[in-house]
Structure 1
């Protein structure tokens, strides 16, 4: 495919993912031979909220430079302003995400895998520390948004719901996928802190250890009930099976 005068070849065997108006694919730049990921956002400006999220993600990632945060390589624009309906964002290419690792048949119980998973957690917290130090909340941390390559390098991706804490606009509570959403968001609190991201990390860690979502709520009420039973009524039997050491590690994050 040719975009803005540049030719990209689809990488053989790489999957193409379509999520509504979002289409992501792996490609290689024919000139530089660099492998990249291209995300197409179709009709990006038809909806004000979607347009704002797209521009916010581009703005934030353009100013970030960290080993554990996904990097934007380029923004591909059409030759004519009148044709600017779709947005193509070029990212560095990663091989998979944490969700795929958790759902795979790979054993996660041997000593080698434990070390690798600890390394994943270290990288998540390292990248999140950088994001928070820039006064930015990610607001949508989940296994699908933690990208990995063959070297076990992890990068935080998908900043579509992220925002700077210095912004004066009303902060919506409708952020973060429900299973990873902190109690204050479930209770419609519009004033929250970076703690909502730390909560999500705790949920992700629990999911890594048990290979099941920690709080798989069916709706808001069920989600709050699951959280209350585990965190406030101290009923560890409600958790999926895990070691006591693992539970001690997850608890401070929740």
Structure 2
């Protein structure tokens, strides 16, 4: 890990240093804009600006923002996204980042290949870059915990970078974690079981599910409601590629990752070593060809795929990760394998251990099936009690962010 961020003096630190353009991604409280730098050594360059509304969620969500900022800043790997500068503009936090004009892999799937990428060269190239990023994460005792196509970003030149570290966690001291977080279709069985904890092998499972998602256009069980998905992952055999015509080396990679027993799964380093035959088929030109077929991000629209409900260790509203996908909305998530959602008299979502009435349950199932894009929503689960005075809305979350600040062993900023 690198403790040295990009020199902030190289980038404008006020809003008037940027010409804000069209929205290229939109999520609850955190749209992502294309922008042009107006002053300084990078004048004329295009960037992406993630605009986080600091007044749109409760104080305790600040730690999640800080965790994501620290992780992005400290990582130094060509396949992990970083930010150039973070600035406060009134009640907003602007996160200035490289513009990855290809959008996310999910966006590219929806625009060009709704049934999945059939190019082995493109699949191998994306998965090789992703495996390298995850191996770097794990070597630094970090878990991503929300790996999926929507969090893999693409440059127009076929650069591949992993994003969205809002639920990442550290394994520097503890060998396992227990927090119930992630997106159901991509969550490993041991994360759902909530019994003996989990480690970096949970990311390996998510990597295997992401491989299927890229190849088939959606993750296994994605068209089912979240609670149903979780039960299917726990009770059924591991998902497999459907159809007989898959590259055998690719099928071997997927099957090795999707072992229900985490001890039988390879590490990310082992994946890079054992599956070299598949990764040697990586061909960036095939990905570039796919990217040439799609319109600019600001011209892409939503599809009718179900919403992705993201479980997070807090029920507070929070900004979405940098998935840069259209149609993102805030959607409710189950409070855990036994939790239920209802709507209160003020329209806010309420969590309980008891099921709602039949009409509400039917509406929830319908909402889950008719969503239009990737989302981030609060879920409940074990979470560390925050210590010290609460941070007030609008207070600068970066004021104590020194170069020596790191993620502690519980995944929090210290």
Contact conserved, 1:209 with 1:242, CA < 8 A, in 2?
no
Query: 1:248–1:241: structure 2 CA closer, same or farther, 3 Å change rule?
Result: same
Alignment partner of 2:73 out of 62, 68, 91: 62
Cα distance in 1, alignment partners of residues 257 and 221 from structure 2: 14
* CA deviation string 1:64-109 (max 9, x = no partner): 111000011101135xxxx5x3211111110211102222334833
- Given candidates 68, 75, 82, the residue that maps to 1:71 is 82
Instruction: Give the 5 Å matches for 1:237-252.
Output: 240-241=242-243, 243=245, 245=248, 246-252=250-256
Note if 1:103 corresponds to 2:103.
no
Higher relative contact order, chain-length normalized (CA < 8 Å, sep 6+):
2
Match of 1:24 in 2: 32
Q: What is the alpha-carbon distance in structure 2 between the residues aligned to residue 55 and residue 7 of structure 1?
A: 24
C-alpha contact 1:173 1:186 (8 A) present in aligned 2 = no
Instruction: Normalising by structure 2, report the TM-score.
Output: 0.52
Kept in 2: contact 1:43–1:86 (CA 8 A): yes
Check if 1:253 corresponds to 2:257: yes
Partner of 1:42: 53
Determine which of 8, 23, 39 is the counterpart of 2:18. 8
Question: Structure 1, residues 160-211: CA drift from partner, whole Å, max 9, x if none?
Answer: 111222367x955331111111111111247210111111110010112222
Matches of 1:166 and 1:44 in 2, distance apart? 33
Q: CA deviation at 1:48?
A: 3.4
* Aligned equivalent of 1:90, options 92, 96, 100: 96
Q: Which one has a bigger Cα radius of gyration? A: 2
> How big is the shift at 1:8?
1.1
Structure 2 residue ranges without an equivalent (≥5): 1-11, 259-414
1:210 to 206, 216, 223: 216
TM-score, scaled to structure 1: 0.83
Count matched residues. Answer: 237
Higher strand share: 1
After superposition, the Cα gap between the structure-2 partners of 1:8 and 1:218, relative to the gap in structure 1 and judged at 3 Å, is same
1:129/1:42 Cα in 2 relative to 1: closer, same or farther (>3 Å)? same
Distance 1:55 1:44 in 2: 15
Greater percentage in helix: 1
> Does structure 1 conserve the Cα–Cα contact (< 8 Å) formed by 2:185 and 2:229?
no
Cα drift, residue 135 of structure 1: 1.0
Answer whether contact 2:178 2:198 (CA < 8 A) is retained: no
Deviation at 1:226, TM superposition (A): 4.7
Distance 1:23 1:166 in 2: 33
